[in-house]
Amino acid sequence: MITINTNKKLLGGILSGLGIIFLIPRIFPDIDYDGTIVFAIIFISIGLYIIFDKVEKDKRTISNEKKDILDDISIFGVSEKALTSDNFKGGSITSIFGGSEINLKGCKLSDGTNVIDVLFVFGGTTLIVPGDWNVVINVTPIFGGFSNKIIKDPSAAIDVNKTIIVKGLVIFCGGEIKSYF
């Protein structure tokens, strides 16, 4: 499900590998290792994920479009961002043991479908969007949640030709999307 709901295929591979590591002693009872190796593998895997994910983002992002694409990473920290763009195309948010507040009220959506890919592990984010955006939330929570607190302006017309999809994975934490008009 993780690999279907997110562009982060490496994360799916890492989590699958960790599952295999936990199953090895049950399949092969002669193999015995203590739990400390599992935590070391988890931290190494998260580190590799962050390194390879950043390299992949750099390959995908063209330099003159960087102002139109959100790229936020919070690891053991907190960040606050306010973006302005007349052609916002989405992006990605990663929060691991951290959090962020991202204000997109100064942005206008690009035509078509735009995606914000999220990964929150023991962290979270608040997204603030304009009240006239067409927002679709497709986030998979595991021991966490992602809430929609958007307040629609009754006088604003929502352009259904411009959509933002928030999708991804939330583990042991939460996030929210809200708006002001």
The residue whose two tokens read 């199953």 is 23
User: Interhelix angle for 36-60 vs 9-27, to 10°?
Assistant: 160
- Spatial contact of 140 and 1, defined as CB atoms under 8 Å apart: yes
* 5 CB-near residues (< 8 Å, 6+ apart): 138, 139, 140, 167, 168, 169
**pTM, rounded to two decimals:** 0.65
Check residue 64 and give its pLDDT: 43
Check residue 62 and give its pLDDT: 41
pLDDT tens, the chain, 181 aa long: 444 455 556 666 666 777 777 777 777 777 766 666 666 677 777 767 766 665 555 444 444 446 788 888 888 888 888 888 889 999 999 888 888 999 998 888 888 899 999 989 888 899 999 888 889 999 989 888 998 888 877 777 788 888 999 999 898 888 999 987 6
d(CA 9, CA 17): 12
> DSSP letters of 115-148?
EEEEEEES-EEEEEEETT-EEEEEEEEESSEEEE
Check residue 4 and give its pLDDT: 46
